[in-house]
Structure 1
């Protein structure tokens, strides 16, 4: 017997049928109400979830926008600092804005902060800006200062022996950063400006630094698209990897007309006390005087002065 259903016999059969129909109707109505309630609750929950998700998305977008603006601001501040540091002279607001292709207002805000923090100074007479005492202090404590100072003698001797411009570079995440140069003996000067960053795959300095770099660094660099600067730039990853392996074996790299047509560069690694490649010593010249097929004397001289520089960096650490 179904609970809630009365059963009668004989003359009460009609009543019994009516009661049964009413019970069935009540059960059906109850089931419909339950289903409507069940449908209504998830819909409300979904609406609430959608509102919460929308709020979270908006909040994340706003946070990402603020973070992006902060990163752009840091980039611009560093661009301003680099522009002044690498100019070799004082610069005014208009000059800096023109070089960086930004508004004078944006530049002025960063200049004010950098002067206030001591990274720049402002000449009250000319209203131009120059490197400040805190920037010089950081440079003095930088390990690269030892590299530049130690390289001065070997670079000059290398220039005097071969006549080519000598260049010292170190690795950054974006390429080979030129730290110092010694102009060649030729009346036509061929070289690169300190502060320039040379591509890993197309410069002799970059290839040397990448060849002796840890595998994760190589993978990060070679995973990106490689830019072709001239018709001779190698952009195929397999060919670049094969060349890097040869560089490790032979101890030097060349880049004939790979960045600039008519120019060749040859570089050798500089190592520290832990046998890490911390720099590249290079010579730069026209393809005519520094041919694609390297002269044995050029190779021997370059590698010899690179080893001399490596010994200069190692020796002080061994002195008690």
Structure 2
């Protein structure tokens, strides 16, 4: 819905509605389509919505593929969705190893220092990259990308490859491998990833691991009605 439509329905001034919508968007409860300027539910609203029975969302669509990938590799699988400030964790399926590394639902991962964030910057609306580049790229570890030009180059690489890893960029000893999830309208809506220590998800993941993560993302996309049969072409 747009600002005018919401204002007319509620009988409230457009300026007031706009302030409220911006606040909800900044907090991850709404997202704004860059092309149409219309608003829809954001990742944190989905987390609240999952408490209500019968709601089909990206987390529900991801359940089977995430469990299949976890069972195949034994590693924790994580689903995240973009917000104004980072990638919000929607769902985690813990690995089967004796020590499983995961991410708490509702927590946020930095756009510039996570594999999931790099996927969002590569396949999501351009506003994510523009907003990230306008802010200081905080050094979370010695491996974090802190130079705008290097981040832009990384995004181009992710766009070409169709997947991303970010070894030790957010936390020492930890790596993730992520791929994009699209809905029926060919819009980027989430990142599907595996997360573990650098021992199990190396800085340069092998072809089998990459294929498993890309297939997990592809299956989630299909469950959402997306029909692509292979790697999404670069934009």
After TM superposition, the structure 1 = structure 2 runs for residues 1-320 of structure 1, keeping only pairs within 5 Å, are: 140=52, 145-314=56-225
TM-score normalised per structure 2: 0.73
Question: Offset of 1:295 from its aligned partner?
Answer: 1.0
| Structure-2 separation of matches of 1:216 and 1:309 | 24
| Structure-1 separation of matches of 2:89 and 2:54 | 15
Question: Offset of 1:137 from its aligned partner?
Answer: 5.9
Question: Offset of 1:140 from its aligned partner?
Answer: 4.2
Question: Offset of 1:263 from its aligned partner?
Answer: 0.6
Q: 1:315 to 1:241 in 2, by over 3 A?
A: closer
| Structure-2 separation of matches of 1:264 and 1:171 | 19
Question: Offset of 1:216 from its aligned partner?
Answer: 2.9
Q: For residues 50-108 of structure 1, give each alpha carbon's deviation from its aligned partner in whole angstroms, at most 9, with x where no partner exists.
A: xxxxxxxxxxxxxxxxxxxxx9xx99xx8xxxxxxxxxxxxxxxxxxxxxxxxxxxxxx
Question: Offset of 1:185 from its aligned partner?
Answer: 0.8
Q: 1:137 to 1:236 in 2, by over 3 A?
A: closer
SS for the counterpart of 1:280 is strand
Runs of 4+ that moved beyond 6 A: none
- Give the aligned partner of residue 19 of structure 1: none
Instruction: Identify unmatched segments of 5+ residues in structure 1.
Output: 1-70, 79-134
| Structure-2 separation of matches of 1:204 and 1:314 | 24
| Structure-2 separation of matches of 1:238 and 1:139 | 42
| Structure-1 separation of matches of 2:85 and 2:49 | 25
Q: 1:303 to 1:315 in 2, by over 3 A?
A: closer
* Number of residue pairs the alignment of both structures matches: 187
SS for the counterpart of 1:210 is helix
| Structure-2 separation of matches of 1:183 and 1:141 | 23
Q: 1:140 to 1:294 in 2, by over 3 A?
A: same
More strand by share: 2
| Structure-1 separation of matches of 2:142 and 2:178 | 21
TM-score normalised per structure 1: 0.54
Higher relative CO (Cα under 8 Å, sequence separation at least 6) belongs to 2
Conservation of the 8 A alpha-carbon contact between 2:182 and 2:226: no
Conservation of the 8 A alpha-carbon contact between 2:75 and 2:100: no
Instruction: Identify unmatched segments of 5+ residues in structure 2.
Output: 1-19, 28-46, 228-235
- RMSD of Structure 2 on Structure 1 (CA): 2.6
